[in-house]
Structure 1
Amino acid sequence: MGHSGRGAEPDKRRLRREILAVRNTLTADDVRESAAALAGHALGLPELARARTVAAYVSVGGEPGTLALLDALHARGVRVLLPVLLPDHDLDWGVYTGAGSLVRGRLGGKLPLLEPAGPCLGPDAVTAADAVLLPGLAVDGRGLRLGRGGGSYDRVLARLERAGARAALVVLLYDPEIVERVPAEPHDRPVHAVVTPSGTRRFTRDFR
């Protein structure tokens, strides 16, 4: 993909800073309004419309809001898995059973992460998902996603690949976060679709 790992990382850090600076200007109302639009578009995406199990996440701060989508999926009878952060930054998973089933994350951090209160199912539970909603900061025309850099979802994606799982990978973003080019490294995997408050975009080429 042109970049060596060393060359891409400073560019990734710079793009992360720029996007986070914009997100930090958003109000709670901004996030709430865009979350309703995001949920509406995401629910119409074929990959989610036919999914029985969806691995998702609880948005924090200025991230595109996911709670409206989680509730809509749950109401539809979809089994929704949510991550539980482990000390080594890997992710375990639990089932979402409604807004009252969330508790403050066991591991402290800068942002209070909400996690499922029920039993943990193990890191491999994600391999049963028909679709995986990925947090991100940007995606480009090739479907390459810029993550936050913590590495948790790199492990999830590697786990899916090892298991031969065929989950649809969907990233939720704001409209300006679809960019011309995300600095890429050889291990980066494209997503299948992006959902923003104004609509969805699918990357139709089969990357498998």
Structure 2
Amino acid sequence: MAEKAALRRELLAARRARSPESRRTAARALARSALALSELAGAATVAAYVSVGTEPGTRDLLDALRTGGKRVLLPRLLPDNDLDWAEYEGPGRLTEIAHVGKMALLEPSGPALGPDAVTWADAVLLPGLAVDARGMRLGRGGGSYDRVLERLERAGARPALVVLLYDEEVVARVPEEPHDHPVRAVATPSGVIRF
């Protein structure tokens, strides 16, 4: 969809324009905002991801969840763009994996739990580029998290879906397609918005 592609280019350019210090400050504030979510406070298992590049930083949040006694599941990208999952055992147990034609990702080095492990999560933290006032999320376009959301729906799992973004990525409207799913909330450095 051309409208989605144009919006993605614009949002990615804005992320690239952020200074490293701005990204670090935003990551600390984002962790505080996300940890204030009742959905995370009450969760035993949280499916999350390790931020890369100019994405809103998740490392502070991952460590806080883990030290707070949460079981944190992190994805491993499969060759077909689907996601397998493994438990987060700390920053020293992340391995940089270079995927052909994609950016290198930090992935958990523990035992693989299978793609269905995400259905055990009480909350799923989703990457994205934007979310609108209806809770519709714009992803990067690879389809990995569309598969996750479809898997949750097929399993009848109803975890809290939360997208992590910079403040200016909460927009008036995101182009929507039939396979898109709304999220329950967005956490940004300045706070939480619920839908």
Q: TM-score, normalised by structure 1?
A: 0.92
1:178 and 2:170 correspond: yes
Residue type matched to 2:168 in 1?
P
Change (3 A) 1:29 1:108: farther
Deviations 1:11-43 (Å, cap 9, x if unpaired)?
Answer: 000000000000011222211110110000100
Counterpart-to-counterpart distance in 2, 1:95 and 1:106: 20
Residue 77 of structure 2 is aligned to residue 85 of structure 1: yes
Q: Distance in 1 between matches of 2:80 and 2:100?
A: 13
Match of 1:44 in 2: 36
2:115 aligned residue: 123
Superposed, which structure 2 residues align to 1:36-185 within 5 Å? 36-105=28-97, 107-185=99-177
Q: What does residue 7 of structure 2 align with?
A: 15
- Structure 2 gaps of 5+ residues are none
Separation in 2 of the partners of 1:108 and 1:198?
36
Structure 2 Cα separation of the partners of residues 117 and 107 of structure 1? 15
Letter in 2 for 1:162: R
Percent identical: 68
Question: Structure 2 CA distance, aligned partners of 1:134 and 1:85?
Answer: 14
8 Å CA contact 2:98–2:104 kept in 1: the answer is no
Q: Secondary structure of the equivalent of 1:68?
A: helix
- After TM superposition, the score normalised by the length of structure 2 is 0.98
Report the AA paired with residue 104 of structure 2: P
Residues in 1 aligned to 2:54 and 2:98: alpha-carbon distance in whole angstroms: 21
Query: Aligned with 1:97: secondary structure?
Result: coil
Query: CA offset at residue 107 of structure 1?
Result: 2.4
Q: Which amino acid aligns with 1:199?
A: G
* CA distance in structure 2 between the partners assigned to 1:17 and 1:193 by the alignment: 24
Matched, 1:31 2:40: no
- Number of aligned residues: 195
State the shift of 1:110 in Å. Answer: 4.2
Q: Deviations over 1:170-192 (max 9, x none)?
A: 00001111110000112211000
